[in-house]
Amino acid sequence: MTTTLSVNSPAIDNSHLKALNQLDIPARLLLGPGPSNADPAVLAAMDRQPIGHLDKAYLALMDEVQELMRYAWQTDNHLTLPVSGTGSAAMEATLANTIEPNDKVLVCVNGYFGHRLVDMATRYGAEVSTLHRPWGEVFTTAEIRTALATHRPAVMAMVHAETSTGVCQPMAGIGDLCREYDCLLILDTVTSLGGVPLFLDQWGVDLAYSCSQKGLSCPPGSSPFTMSDRALAKLNNRKSNVANWYLDMSLLSNYWGKGRTYHHTAPVNMTYAIREALRLLAEEGLAARWQRHQNAAERLYAGLEDMGLECHVPREYRLHTLTTVRIPDGVDGKAVTNQLIDQHNMEIGGGLGDLAGKVWRVGLMGYNATPENVDKCLAALKQVLADLG
């Protein structure tokens, strides 16, 4: 028996929903690990009516995004595109497309996001080995060579800019080692793209991923992804289908390539946004953008030192887009971040994993990497520490 509801049928009570006010979001200064504040020009680009994701105007826009993304990463990889999702979706795409069951995968772990790579790789049936360093330290080429010789992986994954620790991994020689041992190199550039020097082709990186909401100063939801010809060869020679349909690059490449074959409804307005964010990066120029982030970071280091605060990472390995600051003994780190929000409308982050309760994370990314924001952060932090005694 089928029941037909009329327009007069009783419905779930929604009186409390009608009482909701229109959306009102506080205008925070976001100086944490991400997101950063979006550039106003990016928000303006996003605030346009969507068009069809197979419209010829949109297809032309897709080509521009790919070319701009290659410039930002310094790569000629043909398969370079934004994944429809946050940075974790792009992270998963690198693993989903390269790993087949029982593949040997080596993950270099020196922070929270190395552990996430291990978790993801395991879910795709990989035989995962790990190389560990304490949180806040980097890997040497000598220990990477030893690990590659010991485990003989098909894929090695590592984090260039570890968001949990503020470490920037030196990359000289690592891609050469991976080629010597016939191993693909995956690189996490989530907190480095658009903020610190990146040379994927020069470094011999086979797959990389990032996000839109940090160094690119774009809202989250469209995440850069790239594959080299070596990585594509492994994808094309798989014995099994990619286990994740949504992130299968053998399908997505037909949409982003010459075929323009429908795969899924693209986030059209996010494509507007990331295209504008990448255009602004190209307009500023990579060298100028990288220098601006370095200048902001060094201004922050000097101010922290004047306040008697210490950074967690040795200076030569610090990530200019994100600085970990050691919480002084006897200070309640969470109380400080709460008061910064409540009294100064400013966000900085707390520690993750091994560094939980031990550090603050201060982000100076993209649009936010200015001397004015550094000075605001230092002044507010100094005031809150004084208030809390």
SS (H, E, C) the chain: CCCCCCCCCCCCCCHHHHCCCCCCCCCCEECCCCCCCCCHHHHHHHCCCCCCCCCHHHHHHHHHHHHHHHHHHCCCCCEEEEEECCHHHHHHHHHHHHCCCCCEEEEEECCHHHHHHHHHHHHCCCEEEEEECCECECCCHHHHHHHHHHHCCCEEEEECEECCCCEECCCCCHHHHHHHCCCEEEEECCCCCCCCCCCHHHHCCCEEECCCCCCCCCCCCEEEEEECHHHHHHHHCCCCCCCCCCCCHHHHHHHHCCCCCCCCCCCHHHHHHHHHHHHHHHHHCHHHHHHHHHHHHHHHHHHHHHCCCCECCCHHHEECCEEEEECCCCCCHHHHHHHHHHHHCEECEECCHHHCCCEEEEECCHHHCCHHHHHHHHHHHHHHHHHCC
- Determine the pLDDT at residue 10: 60
Q: How far is CA 248 from CA 83, 189, 254, 261, in A?
A: 10, 20, 11, 14
Residues of the chain falling short of pLDDT 70? 1-10
311-359 pLDDT tens trace: 999 999 999 999 999 999 999 999 999 999 999 999 999 999 999 999 9
Cβ neighbors of 67 (< 8 A, separation 6 or more) are: none
> What is the rounded CA–CA span in Å between residue 126 and residue 186?
15
- Determine the pLDDT at residue 259: 82
Whether the bond between 267 and the residue before it is cis, its omega within 30 degrees of 0, is: no
Residue among 226, 188, 185 nearest 88 (CA): 188
Q: How far is CA 90 from CA 25, 56, 87, 188, 249, in A?
A: 28, 26, 5, 10, 11
Domains of the chain: 29-36+285-387 (3.90.1150.10), 40-283 (3.40.640.10)
Residue among 74, 163, 158, 67 nearest 359 (CA): 163
Q: How far is CA 170 from CA 128, 133, 296, in A?
A: 23, 14, 21
Q: For residue 26, what are its two tokens?
A: 């506080």
- Determine the pLDDT at residue 240: 94
> What is the rounded CA–CA span in Å between residue 273 and residue 149?
44
Q: How far is CA 109 from CA 1, 93, 118, 129, 312, in A?
A: 59, 19, 8, 10, 17
Q: What are phi and psi of 326, to 5 degrees?
A: -70, 130
pTM for this model (two decimals) = 0.94
Residue whose structure tokens are 């994701």? 53
CB atoms within 10 A of CB 115: 18
> What is the rounded CA–CA span in Å between residue 183 and residue 167?
24
> What is the rounded CA–CA span in Å between residue 122 and residue 92?
11
Residue among 206, 202, 145 nearest 177 (CA): 145
Q: For residue 163, what are its two tokens?
A: 């968001």
